[in-house]
Every structure is written in C-alpha cells, then in structure tokens.
Structure 1
Amino acid sequence: MTKPRKLILVPLDERPCNYEFPYLLAQGTDYVVERPPTDIMGLKKRPGDVEQLWSWFEAACEGADSAVIALDALLYGGIIPSRLHGLKPDELHARLEQLREIKRCYPQLKLYAFQLIMRCPQYSLSDEEPDYYADWGREIFRKGFIGHRLELGIATDEEIRELADIDLRLPAAVLQDYLGRRAVNIEANKQALELVRDGVIDFMIVPQDDSAPYGHTAKDQEKVRARIMALDLELKVYMYPGADEVGCTLLARTLNMAEGRRPLIYPRLSAVQGAFVTPLFEDRFFYETLKYQILAAGGLIASSAAEADLVLLVSTPGETMAEAVSQHHAYFSYDIHRNLMDLVEYGSYLLRHKKIPVAVADVGYANGGDQKLVKMLRQKNMLFDLAGYAGWNTSSNSLGTVISQATIYLHCGRTQVHLDFLALRYAEDVCYCSVVRGELSDGPVQEMGYGKYELDGPRGIVAARVQERLSEELVVRIDSPEGSVKITDCYMPWNRMFEVGLSVQYVPVEAG
C-alpha cells in the first residue's frame, strides 16, 4: 500500500474559506494535511500567535512532501493583522529568513507560498481596517486613486479639485500611519521574492485583494512587478486579483506538480463580451485573470473541448458586473447580452453524450451565485454531476475555488468528499450569499437587536435563524429526487453577516 503523502497548510486566517476549504478538498486525495491548531490562529483583528505558528510549522515539516503557506499568517498573524501591525522591516526580514533554515533542514520540501499586496478599500468602514478607516477610508482611497492618475497625466480637473479638498481635510497622522504600513509591507513582499530567487520558495502567488486600476494598491503592484522582472521570476511568481481562494489554488498546483500533470481546461463563456468585463473589486479584464487562475493551479487553457480534460462553463456578466443581492431586478446586460441557456445545454450535452467533465464558474455577479443559472442546472439534473462549482465573494475567489475542485476531481473522481464540497458551495454561495444573507441583514437582524457587523456571537440566535432559512432554501433550490443537502453545523465565524461557517453533507436518496 502506498504511503500517504504529507502536506502542511498554513492558512491565511481562521475563516472557513482559508482554514477549511483547502483542507476539505484535500480529503479526497492521498495527501494527509496538517494545519495549525485553531487556538494559535487568531481571530479577525486579533493576530495569531506568530511565534507559535513558526514553531508548529517547523515541527510539522518533519516528513512532509510539500507545504502551502500564507506568508501573511507567518509574518503578521493573518490577513487583517497585516493591515494593523506596527512591525519594522528588520523584524519581518528575520521572520522570513527562518524559511531558509527550514529548507536547509528539509531540502525535499516543496514550498508553495502566497503573500498579499495590502488592499485599499474604496469605502469608509473599519470592520477590517484600522479604526480611522471608518472616518477617512474613502478619502485615503481617493487620494491614492487621483494621485496615481495625476502622476500619469490623466486626472480630470474635477479630480484635481477633489484631491485638493482631501489634502485640506485628511489628517496627516492618519495618512502617515497608513502609508508607512504599506511601505513596510511592500518591503516584505520584495524580501520574499529573494527567497524564490534562491530556491527556498518553489512557487509563489502575489494576490491582490480588492484591487483597482489606479491607487495605492496599483502603485504597489508596479513596485513588486518591477522586482519580479529584475530577479527574472516571471515564471515562478504570479500576480493577479484574488486572496481567500489561493490556498485552494496552491493545493491543486501541489497535486498536479507531484503527479506531473497539466490538465487542459477549455472555458466556455455565457457572453461574447464576458471576457472583456472588469469584475467588481478587480483591476483587469476577466479573461486575463482566468488565464492566471488556470495556470496557477497547474493547468493550461485548451483550444477546444475536444482536446480538453475539463470544460469550464463560465457565467459572466454581459456588460458590467452587479452584486448578487440585486439579481431580482431586471438588467438589460444580464438578460440580453448573455445566454445562460446555451451554457447549460452545452454543458448537459458534454456530460451526457461526450462524457467530458464539466465545472461551473458562477461569476456573473459579485458576492453570490446566480439563481437563474442554478435553477437551470437543477432542471437538467446537473448540480451533483459537475466536477466543480463556485459563486462566492469576488470573481477570483470563485474561479480559484472551482478550478481547484475540478482539478482534484480529475485525479479522484466523484467521491463523497467531492459531493459534500459541492453541497457546501450550493448552501453557501447560492442559498446564503444570494438569498439568506441579504434577506436577514436588511431588517430581521436589526429587529433581533443586532447589526450585520455585530451579531449575538458565532452560535447565537442569528446563527440558528440562518440555519433554519438555509435549510428551507436548500429544499427549494438544490434538493432533487436523487439526493438532498443536510446542514450539520452553522455558525458566524467573525460575528457578522458577511460570511457563514457551514458543515454539510450530500445525502443520496438510496442512503436516506
């Protein structure tokens, strides 16, 4: 019997998308995944115990074949602490240098790493940012956005007047704190690239969370990209929009590289213009990011379905992207400039007649699945025959998740682990993100005496109500004569409405 391979996972933070998703996907493979205990992972703005994380990681390397590591966790204690810390460049450098010793002790260990470029949200809200972002977030973003355009000589007169007004109002201490931290983080990004150059890190992704074409994040991209080019690392370091899906992406890459496989993936889009839509919270045409997501997972784009190992059905917007909670309104670009019927019929034909694996990237909307698309997939009885599905949060979050699941499907097939992860995606992406979250956030949560950013705890009355509503929506939108989805746990990880923590099972009728 072949000995199971050991993979170490250092998640970006403790949320299910980072801590659970890669772990769940790996259960269908021959990898045994070790991840840090939850009590050293931190909680939202409270950083994880970095010293304990390093100690755990070093001990876990014994006998491991590969590791997927979020450098932001090992440097700052998580994604949110990376925006709040007061660390100095030499402290971060010392932490990164520990990887050299680990690689020296375990030269066989393949290190797949990712490290974010710090985001700059367009709105004033301090839920995931420094406290002053509640008052000055919009101004910080606009100053960077307009200032960048001014440097490029493309700022309008109106923007220049707005910038002058911001300079009069934005406190110097606030801007100094914000820009100072960005500068420190970028130095850490550059130092990590040296570890790739020296062969310590085998492959690296630099994802951009909530990116935009101009501004602080875009300018920081330029600095990191210049360093990548100077070190000749273009084929070893990818930089593209994303964040919380990258653990899954690197898991898929680990598996493909270990097996020596390059799955050929043929994308079929629902809209002619879909390739040229710039998704919300991203900085480039959709199709350019799609290429990166497939490459990063270890695959290649196929030129036709005939040569493909997998066909990826991609539901894009027809013109511009809207939020999933708005989909009950009629939108010309969604109803006229794309064709979901063709997408579903084509996928059904491939599954039933050509026996080609089919996955669905549900990226027509931001922050939730497309109810019309899922309804048609259900009518065709395709939901649990797919190689993968995702439709949560940003376009890149969904792409990375579904491509990873589909890649693992090519290795492992239609296992119970695979079916359970499909069930999780339908419960979370469709029923929660598109339906229940908005429904409960806009009134019922307030009537209970809470707010959508501050609930009654991870497992309070709100969580119980969420589970109740999700169970009802699953019956209506997902369950079929062949099987149903059962929720075994439901909680609110960050005590807010934005994300939900779920454990679910797909229960075939014959097993019921």
Structure 2
Amino acid sequence: MGNPKRGKVAYLPLDERPCNYEFPWLLAGDTDLELVRPPLEWMGRKKRPGRIAELGDWLEREAEDAEAAIVSIDTLLYGGIVPSRLHRLGEHEAARPLERLRRIRERRPDIRLYAFHLIMRCPQYSSSDEEPDYYADWGRELFRLGYLGHREQLGLAIAEEQQELSRIRLRLPEDVRDDYLERRAVNASANRASLELAADGTLDFLALPQDDAAPYGWTALDQQAVRQRIRELGAETRTLMYPGADETGCTLLARLAVERTNRSRPLVYARYASTLGPQVVPLYEDRPLGESVKAQLLAAGALLAESAADAQLVLLVNSPGGPMAESNDQLRPNAAYDVQRSVQELAEYAEHAVRVLGKPSAIADVAYANGGDLQLLRLLKAKGLLPELAGIAGWNTSGNTLGTAIAQLLLHARYGRTPAQLGFLGLRVAEDYGYCAAVRRPLADGVIRERGMDYFNVDGERGAAAGLVREALELFLEQEGFTDGPLRIRIEDCCLPWSRMFEVGLRVEANDGDAGAPTISEDRE
C-alpha cells in the first residue's frame, strides 16, 4: 500500500448520468481535490447495472492511497440507482458488498469515508421507464396501496379512501404486489445494514436521501424503520435522512472540503422569496422546504444562521408562496407566484448580499419543480449579477437544486472564484433555465413528436433529437443575451444520455466580462 495522497478522492457515483458522474468531478476542478472515478463504460446504462464486481474492486484499490472516498452504496450493491429497483437479490446477497467498506476502513484507519444510500422510491404514477415493467400498468395502484394503507394504519383514512383501498386490494395482481414488496424489503434491510457501518465508525458519515417522497406510503414507512434503527444504534451524529438523490455526490464533496479545512461549520443565512416559503412542501417531497434547507446544509457540513449578520455565506431561496407548480406552467397566472412572493425583492437582496455585504451568495431556485424560474434569471441578468454569484441551480426536485446550489456555495467559500466555478455556473444557466425551463417541453410536444419520437424515446444519445436540442439552446442563449455581456455561454456539445428528453448532457464554454481564457465545463465526453 502506498502513502496516502493528500487531496485524492475515490468517487463511486450513483449512476452514469451527468448529474452523478460529471457534476462532482466538475466542481472539484481548480481545487486541491483530485477526484478519481471509474471508467464510464463500467457504470452501466439506465436499467442495465454497472459492473458490480469490477466497481467494488476499483473502489478498494483506489482507496488504498486516497485521502477520502465518497461512495454510492446503491452502485456498490446493485450497480446503480435504477437497478436498485429491478434486482432479484436476497437480503444477504444484496448486503454482502458492504464488507468492502469494512475492509477499506481496516486497511486505512485514517481515510475519510463518506457514503450515501437511497431509500427506495415509490413514484405516484404508472410508468416503467425507470421501474419494473409492471409499473406501466400498476404503478399508481402500488403507490396508492401504500399511501392509503398507511393512512388506514394510522386511523386517518376517510370512507372514500377505505373504499379505494379495498378496490385496489381486489384488483392488484398478487404476483405484482409480492415482487414489489419483496424488493422493498431487501432494500430496506440493506439500508439497515449500512446504518451498522455508520454506528461502528466504518463510515464517517452516511447520507440517506429519499428520492420521490410522500408524507404517507411505502417510503414514509421505510423511513420510520430506518429512523428507529438509527436511534437504537445511537448513530444520529453520523447519519442524516432527507429528500434528495442525484445531488448527493456534490453534497458530500462539499462536506469533505469543509471538514478537511474548517475548524467550525460555515454559517449560512437563507433568504426566502416568500413569507410562507419555508412552510411550503415541495412537489415530490415529504416535508416543509425550510426543514430540507436545514438538512441539506447540515449534510454538506454547514449550519443555518439566524441572520445575515451571523453568517459568512448567503443562500437565496427562490421559494413559491403557496403550492409548488411545474416549471412548464410558469407563464400561467398563479397567485402563489404573482402575489404571495416577491422575486424582485430576492434579486435586490442578492445584489445587496454580493455587492454591499460582500458575502459569497448562491441561488437555490426552487420556485418550480423541474426547471428554473425564467423571471428570476432575467432579473439577475439585468443586474449583471450572474458571474458574481457563487452558484446557481434550478433543476429537477427541490432537493436536487438545494444540494447543487449549496455545494457550489461552500466550494466557492473555500476556493474562491475559479474558471471551473464559472464554468459550472454557466452550465447551470444553460441546462436548468435553457433546457429544463425553456426548451425541453416545447421541443418534446412539437418537432420531436412530429418526427415520430416522444418524450421517453428519441433517436439515441446523439441523433437528430440531440441536434434539435442544441439548436434550440443556442437560440435561447442568443435571445436571452448570453452570447455577449457579463456572462457569455456557448454550447460545445449536446447529447441525451438516456435517449429521452428528461435529462441532457452538455459541454459549455463560459466567459465573464473580465476573463482572458475561456472556461470549459464538460458534462459528457
């Protein structure tokens, strides 16, 4: 075994998509952290699991001389996030690869070992795109079975709900129900096994993100069992459970940067766009936004400050003032956005925090699900403020956005303004606002459909659909003023990693007004 290399981080991603494979690697650019990751071809693709044995061997080998390791337990056990919902492993077989983490700790007592292990999700809709094939026909019923059964168990089910539950129990095929619940039981057992590693000190920290959560149902029941086991093991200081998933690699990278250099946790002031913002329960999540902000900060190694005066850093949370909407609906009149919040005031405070208080500040744009708030982007652009921010994010779920924005903020606080930081900010503008909010749905409903494709099935990673996306993004950047001015962004490459419209892989070139050489942000080689 060689001597540990200061700054080397062995990173085992959750899957091969850019958000998991690329984002942490990009954020580590221009820092003293050398992030190493497995070859992309080992990571599998969507429903096809990664090379579990080779990935485990790689992790043990790279950990021998690493300062730290960040490990997706779902990849270590199942070969990725989607395969974790499809496998046919028994409890002991599924948990066996956890012994690799014990061996790493035995060989390297001084390594910083962080891991994350998802609570298996239960989508509310019928689609087999990322679930077993039968979920296309029975997904909604499986969700409602858990949701209503949980409410019945708590004595909360009203008469109509009890009647619906009875109908589902009669209609749902027994083999479908059993297959789904048996897999959930195996995964829940593996969650409990990973808690043992946190409790005995094998892991320095274990994040337990909840993908697609709800207040009642299978996910809530699994969380209860995990929470009880955490208390039994006395593992509260080494574990944290909260809504999230694909941002967690970034979160733990930020935690590493904080813990290896800071004697105390950075204090972050959260400024909301709406009075009721902290109480809003975001779409696809199970708790108020304010609780998720606290948990995401804590997972990343920071703490929530009571005021800007107490804080070193500022997180500007673009929150709705009422029930959250999808980004596709942001042009429709909605009192939760038009009356019960002030995005203008948030933009003014962002300018104050950056230019008057002089505090690193990032935007967590959680106003909508699945895309950024174009009104906020235009306000920040008008002020010339974007290149002065520590970070910005507005993609997918609230948890994904919070974790990505907080990671940028904490890394900026540690390493300052760098070409890699500006490149990642440019990538977020192009992807979260250009693609997710402005381009994706009109393309999917228009020319993509006209050419015989659909949202979940296009002509490959680099086919005509990817070309259409690139053209639309280039037009968006030109129309929104990102081809000149304080922040200039150019698309270098564009692909659709899972041959569908939900996610995009981009490589962008980003310049600020003072820059000499361009900065490159790569999402996919």
The TM-score bracket by the shorter chain reads over 0.9
1:64 deviates by 0.3
1:102 deviates by 1.6
Change (3 A) 1:109 1:3: closer
Report SS of the residue matched to 1:259: coil
1:165 and 1:321 map into 2 onto residues whose CA distance is 31
Aligned residues: 511
1:467 and 1:54 map into 2 onto residues whose CA distance is 36
Aligned partners of 1:361 and 1:389 also within 8 Å: yes
Instruction: Determine which of 280, 294, 298 is the counterpart of 1:295.
Output: 298
Instruction: Determine which of 497, 501, 506 is the counterpart of 1:497.
Output: 501
**1:450-484 CA-partner distances (Å, limit 9, x unpaired):** 11111100000000110111011112225142341
Residue of structure 2 in register with 1:78 after alignment? 80
Report SS of the residue matched to 1:457: coil
Residue of structure 1 in register with 2:7 after alignment? 5
Instruction: Determine which of 286, 303, 316 is the counterpart of 1:283.
Output: 286
2:95 and 2:144 map into 1 onto residues whose CA distance is 31
1:3 deviates by 7.0
Residue of structure 1 in register with 2:433 after alignment? 430
Instruction: Determine which of 475, 486, 491 is the counterpart of 1:487.
Output: 491
Within 5 Å, give how 1:236-251 maps onto structure 2.
236-251=238-253
1:19 and 1:255 map into 2 onto residues whose CA distance is 19
1:228 deviates by 0.3
1:128 and 1:427 map into 2 onto residues whose CA distance is 25
1:97 and 1:462 map into 2 onto residues whose CA distance is 43
1:347 deviates by 1.3
Residue of structure 1 in register with 2:201 after alignment? 199
Residue of structure 1 in register with 2:456 after alignment? 453
Within 5 Å, give how 1:97-496 maps onto structure 2.
97-260=99-262, 261-477=264-480, 479=482, 480-496=484-500
**1:267-325 CA-partner distances (Å, limit 9, x unpaired):** 00010000100000000111011000011100011121122111111110101100001
Q: Which moved more, 1:476-485 or 1:337-346?
A: 476-485
Q: Which moved more, 1:51-60 or 1:474-483?
A: 474-483
Aligned partners of 2:69 and 2:112 also within 8 Å: yes
1:508 deviates by 3.5
Counterpart code for 1:417? A
Report SS of the residue matched to 1:97: helix
Aligned partners of 1:463 and 1:491 also within 8 Å: yes
Aligned partners of 2:273 and 2:342 also within 8 Å: yes
2:247 and 2:141 map into 1 onto residues whose CA distance is 29
2:423 and 2:184 map into 1 onto residues whose CA distance is 40
1:90 deviates by 1.1
2:21 and 2:353 map into 1 onto residues whose CA distance is 34
Aligned partners of 2:315 and 2:362 also within 8 Å: yes
Counterpart code for 1:29? T
1:92 deviates by 2.0
Counterpart code for 2:504? V
1:28 and 1:293 map into 2 onto residues whose CA distance is 24
Aligned partners of 1:71 and 1:115 also within 8 Å: yes
Aligned partners of 2:123 and 2:212 also within 8 Å: yes
Counterpart code for 1:507? N
Counterpart code for 1:498? F
**1:75-119 CA-partner distances (Å, limit 9, x unpaired):** 000000000000111112321112111211111111100000100
Report SS of the residue matched to 2:388: coil
Counterpart code for 1:376? L
**1:382-411 CA-partner distances (Å, limit 9, x unpaired):** 111101100000001000000001100001
1:14 and 1:91 map into 2 onto residues whose CA distance is 24
1:429 deviates by 0.3
1:354 and 1:3 map into 2 onto residues whose CA distance is 38
1:472 and 1:233 map into 2 onto residues whose CA distance is 51
Report SS of the residue matched to 1:466: helix
Identity %: 52
Aligned partners of 2:199 and 2:233 also within 8 Å: yes
Aligned partners of 2:370 and 2:395 also within 8 Å: yes
Counterpart code for 1:481? G
Report SS of the residue matched to 1:272: coil
2:508 and 2:223 map into 1 onto residues whose CA distance is 38
Aligned partners of 1:112 and 1:204 also within 8 Å: yes
Counterpart code for 1:151? Q
Q: Which moved more, 1:30-39 or 1:481-490?
A: 481-490
Aligned partners of 2:206 and 2:240 also within 8 Å: yes
Residue of structure 2 in register with 1:46 after alignment? 48
Aligned partners of 2:5 and 2:66 also within 8 Å: no
Residue of structure 1 in register with 2:522 after alignment? none
Counterpart code for 1:491? C
Q: Which moved more, 1:90-99 or 1:38-47?
A: 90-99
Report SS of the residue matched to 2:97: helix
> Is 1:507 aligned to 2:502, yes or no?
no
Residue of structure 1 in register with 2:523 after alignment? none
1:167 deviates by 1.1
Aligned partners of 1:426 and 1:478 also within 8 Å: no
1:92 and 1:199 map into 2 onto residues whose CA distance is 21
Aligned partners of 2:246 and 2:400 also within 8 Å: yes
Counterpart code for 1:80? V
Change (3 A) 1:423 1:153: same
Counterpart code for 1:181? R
Q: Which moved more, 1:302-311 or 1:369-378?
A: 302-311
Aligned partners of 1:241 and 1:283 also within 8 Å: yes
Aligned partners of 1:119 and 1:210 also within 8 Å: yes
1:439 and 1:165 map into 2 onto residues whose CA distance is 38
Structure 2 unaligned blocks of 5 or more: 519-525
Name the Cα RMSD after superposition.
Answer: 1.2
1:220 and 1:252 map into 2 onto residues whose CA distance is 28
1:211 and 1:444 map into 2 onto residues whose CA distance is 33
Aligned partners of 2:372 and 2:432 also within 8 Å: yes
1:4 deviates by 4.9
Within 5 Å, give how 1:49-68 maps onto structure 2.
49-68=51-70
